[in-house]
Structure 1
Amino acid sequence: MNEKLITVTGKGCIHAVPDVTRLELTLQSIHDTYEDAYAQAKSNTNSLSKIMKEVKLETTLPKTIRLDIDKKTQNEYDKFGHYKSDKFIGFKLDHKIKIDLGMDNVLLNKIVKLIGKYLKQAEINIGYTVRDPRPSQLKMLERAVKDAKEKATIMAEACGCKLGLVKDINYSVQEVHIYSQARMIHGADEALCCNEESLDITPDDLAVSDEVTVVWYLSNNVKE
């Protein structure tokens, strides 16, 4: 006898209150040699340590997200538009760093200005996240399962059936990013012009969601 089953995907949504201001710095530059590019990366790190000391924070607070040095070339063409060769441009340094702070716009303004002073090539992305995402992730899963059960119950009753035991739960474990971008600062001039008013950002709650698929047995009536 074939099993009578119902499969439903539930969605769990939550709104998390941000408690972390995240600065993500993109530091890109072109150098004649690989060694020069690597020296610039070390200089970037040293400058950030100096900035942290000036605002009385731990020098280990900035974390490198990406450090890549790649040989850059450019296609060369003759006067007829035919490809001739690749011209060496230099070694491109792509250095990305994040700094997680509390919700303090005065401190944020000081750091942004110092980045504009000491790291003139920096692009600064200001966003918001939560320090501990796990409670939010668990709450999303709970709501997703409840959502699936509510939907399955309604569909089963509409078919004249009753929801039975759970046969299977399918959940693809994935990293949930609880993050919202708020402001992009494109260079040193803009960073140096920032003040407490221009960075007085009140972030909205962070909306995130997750999904769970649940399979139930169905019975035609309570006695089965």
Structure 2
Amino acid sequence: KVMRTITVKGTGNVSARPDYIILSLNIEVLSETYDRAMSEAAERIERLQGAAVRVGYRKEDLKTTSFDVQTRYENVKDRQGNYKREFAGYACSYRLKLAFDFDSKQLAKVISAIADCGAQPELSIAFTVKNPARVSEELLINATENARAKAEILCKASGSTLGQLLNIDYNWGELNV
């Protein structure tokens, strides 16, 4: 008995309404001394924590995702027109995040509190899903059903019947959650 195989590629897509907000905040302080850079950054972090508390969060809800201190130099032109590198100071950088369930009114309160607190962070807002694994699972089911439908069409058109599944080769072409 000759074994005939067909190979199909299933595609799927799923839309998911954002139900989660991740607010990313960046604080950077440049100062001539390490101590001053650290203390100014700490003061700005405290202001952000206070803003979070004022709109219903605990200060611990504002999570530090990265922290670093680097020396900074700038190119300065001397009297002869030559450039030389001069020490500009210490740059203390904090990256923080505050994540919460999607609520546009709450987001407006949070942004307003941050704007009013004087910390002046760089800010970005990501609208995402709280449970990306569930969305990925739906996508896999959708792609698998699509592949099976294609296989059934090919079998019907060629006058054969669909047998047992021999192989699944799966990879994510594109997954934006």
- TM normalised by structure 2 equals 0.75
What does 1:117-132 correspond to in 2, within 5 Å?
A: 117-132=116-131
- Asked if the contact 2:68–2:92 (Cα under 8 Å) also holds between the matched residues in 1, the reply is yes
1:150–1:81 CA distance, 2 compared to 1 (3 A): farther
Q: Deviations over 1:50-72 (max 9, x none)?
A: 11222232222112223232222
1:16–1:3 CA distance, 2 compared to 1 (3 A): same
**Counterpart in the other structure of 2:43:** 43
| Number of equivalent positions | 176
Greater percentage in strand: 1
2:73 is the counterpart of 1:53: no
- Asked if the contact 1:62–1:99 (Cα under 8 Å) also holds between the matched residues in 2, the reply is yes
**Counterpart in the other structure of 1:28:** 28
1:173–1:81 CA distance, 2 compared to 1 (3 A): farther
Q: Structure 2: 5+ residue runs without aligned partners?
A: none
Partner secondary structure for residue 130 of structure 2: coil
**Counterpart in the other structure of 1:16:** 16
Partner secondary structure for residue 170 of structure 1: coil
1:31–1:2 CA distance, 2 compared to 1 (3 A): farther
1:129 maps to amino acid = T
**Counterpart in the other structure of 2:113:** 114
- TM normalised by structure 1 equals 0.62
Greater percentage in helix: 2
**Counterpart in the other structure of 1:66:** 66
**Counterpart in the other structure of 1:102:** 101
- Asked if the contact 2:78–2:84 (Cα under 8 Å) also holds between the matched residues in 1, the reply is no
> Which shifted more, 45-54 or 151-160?
151-160
Identity %: 27
- Asked if the contact 1:29–1:121 (Cα under 8 Å) also holds between the matched residues in 2, the reply is no
